[in-house]
Structure 1
């Protein structure tokens, strides 16, 4: 019923992750008897600065019962003191289910349980990942572990599963609306992933394997950089495969792809091969540029993947216009996201001070978000600078999601929440990790003089796309709010926000040189774009190869790789054998990967290069989902080309995107919504990609 998912951004070394606990949320203050609904609440209003001419306009709050705050930070022990009371409330909510008669009442009690629990778990995750104080982390970890163990027990309750099956029946569905039905289907699928529907002996085995799977995934991540993390990877792949077999699936990929936009491996492989076929000719031409820059003529015809990566990086670096970074200070970047909000979406980000009990970092900033009618939408916290105590160095974390709490369900256990629950999100970055950040005389970081690397700027806009999806995606059902969608849908908006960084019309509003305040020139923007796009077709094929590795390793055995064959969308197929056929050891794993990569690559795969494809956290965190970045990038570029490229500051286009797509959060059929919005058939994505 309750899920934990971690999403992130993949772009070479510019990798980030943001966490979301798909269960529910919780909060508390330091009162004599902490309750599970106090932590993220309070009242505040303020004015702020933005890009538009109405910088100093005072906002009028409408339809706000309570603006959320971060009062769970008032004391290191607040979250730990709240966990027992939270569990009591959740038990009370679940105990009410047999007493109610209608399907809607039962659904609302389940969704409320999810919401109350997440009001504890999401703040705990934020403190564990971001807070600089080790004592705060310790107490939050205690509360998180206890709450997570409780969540796991709830997920294994057969009586609760039987209720969800009842809700998913034809009779149950008659009493629910579309959003509630989608939630029920998702809850049922999640519980069945834990084997809840299996006989007791098999269910216990599934539980054991799920625990083993998570432990192996974490071990694989922590072993990155060691000489041989691949022995762990073998065990992880075997565990995932055997687990999927126990649950009745052909492969782990088949299990993971349910509920995504592409739904199954056949459609994923057709997409990957379609992109590979279309981009290969241009990628070959880009390879000629690289060959011309390889020193020794005798090596030019047999460029390996490691040589290609090194030479391409050097050429790109040399093509970057001199002085470009001087336009991208931290302060300018913050103005940039404010400009994007105000000019494109009619949304204002107004900086407000932290109250004393909310402060966790003296350099963090808090913003209230208002729509064009001055209605309050939510809270965004920016934590821009690197910190050795930050485990999540760059990402988007949700403290609570925007939804409509079920008042009747809450009243049954003596609780009350505001009629609307507003989202609170934290955007954290890693500025200063590559080049030391500048300090002011008071010891704080100097936003105006600290410059950001191009990858850091892109990361900010990427993660801000997730943040605004959370802000706009306020639903009735908590479990479907914001970014709780499949990766091939949810990454669309983060990658769309990156596209605005290619527009001079947008950049000139805020990308001003730090000393002269001179706006960035059209020529410099075009040179930046040219440098970024110099090998864009090769980059796309790289993503195809990474996705193919992911699909193959999580696909059915014997392993099979597909590749373009002919000009009519046909696929070639090569059966590779089972992983055991390749023997043990790093060399044999590399041989398997070379066999996977060769049909799709325009360069000669090497052992070093292919093993490098395994050195990314998403093989651990998003099994069979890596293709989602490429798929969503393709959709994002289509949105940009059709809706924004000619007029990037078009308010009507921004309003249309929110009203037709982003406002649904995950409470929609993502394929239908995107197709209706674009007027395109997504089955033809490789045609217009």
Structure 2
């Protein structure tokens, strides 16, 4: 008996060193949301909208917004107008977006077909209203008069900037052109939409090859149907180099139909840009962006490429050593199909553990607690788990968070749709349901957003456990959500993430820096059962593993960005085969050679959604890196820096040109050279940290 008591006493002392209690927020997210019994039978409606107590409410919303749209048009063109033109247009935009954004989310996420069908009809209806607005000459003339000559009512610099954004949206559709040319723009836009959809569909189709055209040695690697071999992807994680090479060559074979679609898409975009007065589609797409024009993007890409070249070459040399050691072939060289495999291999080796061994230390509740701690430290904002009323959510496993400021009160609401289910999109993403804006009575229309992930549901006593990559994704998407929560703009048209594409990702990418900092991870990375903190050794290995081969990975993004710019810039004028353009750009911007008889670009679906804007990832990453190095690297919990970041960056959304925001915040001109150096400094610094860690472990 004495022995047992002694043992229990020792065990208690041992556990007391690291046992702590999860916060209420962590406990809530480590289990499925509690189902509330509806005793009152009062259904508040989806997102607390009484109209959406049933799917038929979408038809009422549609009718209401159509009526309100006509009223606002009449007000805008009236000689008796008593409001600023920009306020009328912002209410018009707000009215349409409240239905369109809501309907788009419900269309893709609601599990009931009646809701998705009604939402899709609402989307189509709103698109029709927008198309009619885009051809409404009187309201366009009223707006252009205000932008060119000033409003008859006093306006601010922000008012004038937002009004100019509304005007540019109008002119993108060619309303300022002669009728014949305007109709041509309409036809071109329609062609671009259809070509883009067909290209994206073709980009994900498997390669189907006759068995006789596939070498016998690799034929058995792939499934067959009759006399055909089916190749569905690149097999980047396959240990067999022969399989990786075969999949790359076969899956990326040229396709005449895809080549034709891409050529026609680029030509239509070029003609559209020329019709609207731009030299190239890249000039049109980058108008009003952080980088302002393709010339600056090209200069940034070129400077970054030059600085990356020796660093990326060193990465490839290391991959070659790994390949020769693994294959036993002294003359083996790193090829295009090898880079994902060896990057993954090195990261696993540096972790010295399987990724699954980190899972117990990153429960969903623990990660949410970590986010809550960070947001309180930086902004004085806590995440408060809030009861969901009957009928408010689209599924039973949804959480609702209130973002509550210590003095300002509730800033907005975040619905968390975190768990996988049948029919739900698998891509992690952020949806705006309602944008924030200053209301006429001086109050603020609170933003409402949805953060969507695809995590495994909690099971009994086992919470949802996140891999390190999923922790990054959670912080990334919550970065978007907090951009919406912390913005305080006069106009919803430019609130939160409604800013230029090459700036919208900055807050979310910056959050990934916090997720990769050991000082932040220490605040919440602990075992979901024992509460034991993650060991310092595991923590250091985890943080270091994220930076291996950073130079070669960045160089790949530079290559993609340069190719996108070439296709939508001068290359579009010249036409020709897109693969020849790929070969030329790859030789200049990437350290590995083009693989003959492949056409990787014909499966690059981002050419549709990010046409001429793929560079935005690089620029957002660079600006986020610059902000991190300047304000948060020394202390990731710096409240003064957090408040400054909110007031000078996040609060403005797109109400102030993003280039101006960044320049003022960082107190330095945002030149291509400064941007390139910022990213190179980070890569070099991370490389030194990795070497120091390896020496320390040696």
- TM-score range for the pair, normalised by the shorter chain length: 0.7 to 0.9
The 3 A distance-change label for structure 1 pair 361 and 72 is farther
Specify the alignment match of 2:423 in structure 1: 389
Specify the alignment match of 2:142 in structure 1: 163
User: Within 5 A, what are the aligned runs for 1:562-581?
Assistant: 578-580=574-576
Gapped regions of structure 2 (runs ≥ 5): 1-22, 28-45, 208-254, 680-698
Contact 2:47 2:393 in 1 (8 A): no
User: Within 5 A, what are the aligned runs for 1:162-311?
Assistant: 162-172=141-151, 175-226=154-205, 227=207, 228=255, 229-295=258-324, 296=327, 300=331, 302-311=333-342
Contact 2:192 2:269 in 1 (8 A): yes
State the Cα distance separating 1:154 from its structure 2 match. 0.7
Q: Which residue of the other structure, out of 459, 479, 499, is the alignment partner of 1:439?
A: 459
TM-score normalised over the length of structure 2: 0.79
The 3 A distance-change label for structure 1 pair 406 and 73 is same
CA deviations over 1:274-321 (Å, ceiling 9, x no partner): 111122222121122101111357675742222233222222233234
The 3 A distance-change label for structure 1 pair 234 and 103 is farther
| Higher Rg of the two aligned structures | 2
Q: Which residue of the other structure, out of 626, 644, 647, is the alignment partner of 1:656?
A: 644
- What secondary structure is seen at the aligned counterpart in 1 of 2:454? strand
Contact 2:426 2:454 in 1 (8 A): no
Q: Which residue of the other structure, out of 62, 67, 76, is the alignment partner of 1:97?
A: 76
User: Within 5 A, what are the aligned runs for 1:499-648?
Assistant: 499-557=513-571, 578-580=574-576, 582=577, 589-607=578-596, 611-613=599-601, 615-648=603-636
CA deviations over 1:75-107 (Å, ceiling 9, x no partner): 122112221121011101111223344685333
Q: Which residue of the other structure, out of 315, 333, 336, is the alignment partner of 2:346?
A: 315
TM-score normalised over the length of structure 1: 0.80
Contact 2:283 2:293 in 1 (8 A): yes
Contact 1:462 1:494 in 2 (8 A): yes
The 3 A distance-change label for structure 1 pair 676 and 91 is same
- What secondary structure is seen at the aligned counterpart in 1 of 2:126? helix
Specify the alignment match of 2:655 in structure 1: 667
The 3 A distance-change label for structure 1 pair 116 and 91 is same
- What secondary structure is seen at the aligned counterpart in 1 of 2:174? coil
State the Cα distance separating 1:653 from its structure 2 match. 1.4
State the Cα distance separating 1:348 from its structure 2 match. 0.9
Q: C-alpha distance in 2, partners of 1:646/1:107?
A: 42
State the Cα distance separating 1:262 from its structure 2 match. 1.0
Contact 1:469 1:482 in 2 (8 A): yes
Specify the alignment match of 1:688 in structure 2: 678
Q: Which residue of the other structure, out of 393, 399, 406, is the alignment partner of 1:372?
A: 406
Specify the alignment match of 1:28 in structure 2: none
- Indicate whether 1:403 and 2:437 are aligned: yes
User: Within 5 A, what are the aligned runs for 1:447-462?
Assistant: 448-462=462-476
- Indicate whether 1:429 and 2:453 are aligned: yes
Q: Which residue of the other structure, out of 111, 115, 122, is the alignment partner of 2:90?
A: 111
- What secondary structure is seen at the aligned counterpart in 2 of 1:168? helix
The 3 A distance-change label for structure 1 pair 344 and 553 is same
Contact 1:380 1:467 in 2 (8 A): yes
Contact 2:568 2:611 in 1 (8 A): yes
Contact 2:322 2:342 in 1 (8 A): yes
- What secondary structure is seen at the aligned counterpart in 2 of 1:452? coil
* Greater alpha carbon shift after TM alignment, 470-479 vs 299-308: 299-308
Contact 1:68 1:379 in 2 (8 A): no
Q: C-alpha distance in 2, partners of 1:405/1:221?
A: 41
The 3 A distance-change label for structure 1 pair 397 and 511 is same
The 3 A distance-change label for structure 1 pair 292 and 151 is same
Q: C-alpha distance in 2, partners of 1:655/1:216?
A: 46
Q: C-alpha distance in 2, partners of 1:653/1:469?
A: 16
Gapped regions of structure 1 (runs ≥ 5): 1-47, 53-66, 408-417, 441-445, 560-577, 583-588
Q: C-alpha distance in 2, partners of 1:630/1:262?
A: 11
CA deviations over 1:345-377 (Å, ceiling 9, x no partner): 210110011100112111110011111215110
Q: C-alpha distance in 1, partners of 2:572/2:657?
A: 33
Q: C-alpha distance in 2, partners of 1:302/1:393?
A: 34
* Greater alpha carbon shift after TM alignment, 104-113 vs 199-208: 104-113
- Indicate whether 1:128 and 2:107 are aligned: yes
State the Cα distance separating 1:510 from its structure 2 match. 1.3
Q: C-alpha distance in 2, partners of 1:516/1:638?
A: 38
Specify the alignment match of 2:361 in structure 1: 327
CA deviations over 1:213-262 (Å, ceiling 9, x no partner): 11222222222321444432222112111211222222111110100011
Contact 2:51 2:61 in 1 (8 A): no
Specify the alignment match of 1:34 in structure 2: none
User: Within 5 A, what are the aligned runs for 1:465-476?
Assistant: 465-476=479-490
Q: C-alpha distance in 1, partners of 2:50/2:383?
A: 21
Matched pairs, number: 582
State the Cα distance separating 1:632 from its structure 2 match. 1.1
Q: C-alpha distance in 2, partners of 1:72/1:658?
A: 35
The 3 A distance-change label for structure 1 pair 347 and 70 is farther
The 3 A distance-change label for structure 1 pair 251 and 68 is same
- What secondary structure is seen at the aligned counterpart in 1 of 2:432? strand
State the Cα distance separating 1:271 from its structure 2 match. 0.5
Q: C-alpha distance in 1, partners of 2:361/2:439?
A: 44
Contact 2:47 2:392 in 1 (8 A): no
State the Cα distance separating 1:617 from its structure 2 match. 3.9
Q: C-alpha distance in 1, partners of 2:408/2:280?
A: 50
Specify the alignment match of 2:60 in structure 1: 81
Contact 1:50 1:339 in 2 (8 A): no
- What secondary structure is seen at the aligned counterpart in 2 of 1:361? coil
The 3 A distance-change label for structure 1 pair 453 and 402 is same
- What secondary structure is seen at the aligned counterpart in 1 of 2:414? strand
State the Cα distance separating 1:387 from its structure 2 match. 2.8
Q: C-alpha distance in 1, partners of 2:312/2:101?
A: 43
Q: C-alpha distance in 2, partners of 1:349/1:155?
A: 40
State the Cα distance separating 1:204 from its structure 2 match. 0.7
Q: C-alpha distance in 1, partners of 2:552/2:51?
A: 47
State the Cα distance separating 1:547 from its structure 2 match. 0.3
* Greater alpha carbon shift after TM alignment, 97-106 vs 505-514: 97-106
Specify the alignment match of 2:508 in structure 1: 494
Q: C-alpha distance in 2, partners of 1:87/1:383?
A: 30
CA deviations over 1:97-144 (Å, ceiling 9, x no partner): 233446853332222111111121111111012111111100111111
CA deviations over 1:648-677 (Å, ceiling 9, x no partner): 111221111101111011101222221221
Q: C-alpha distance in 2, partners of 1:612/1:466?
A: 31
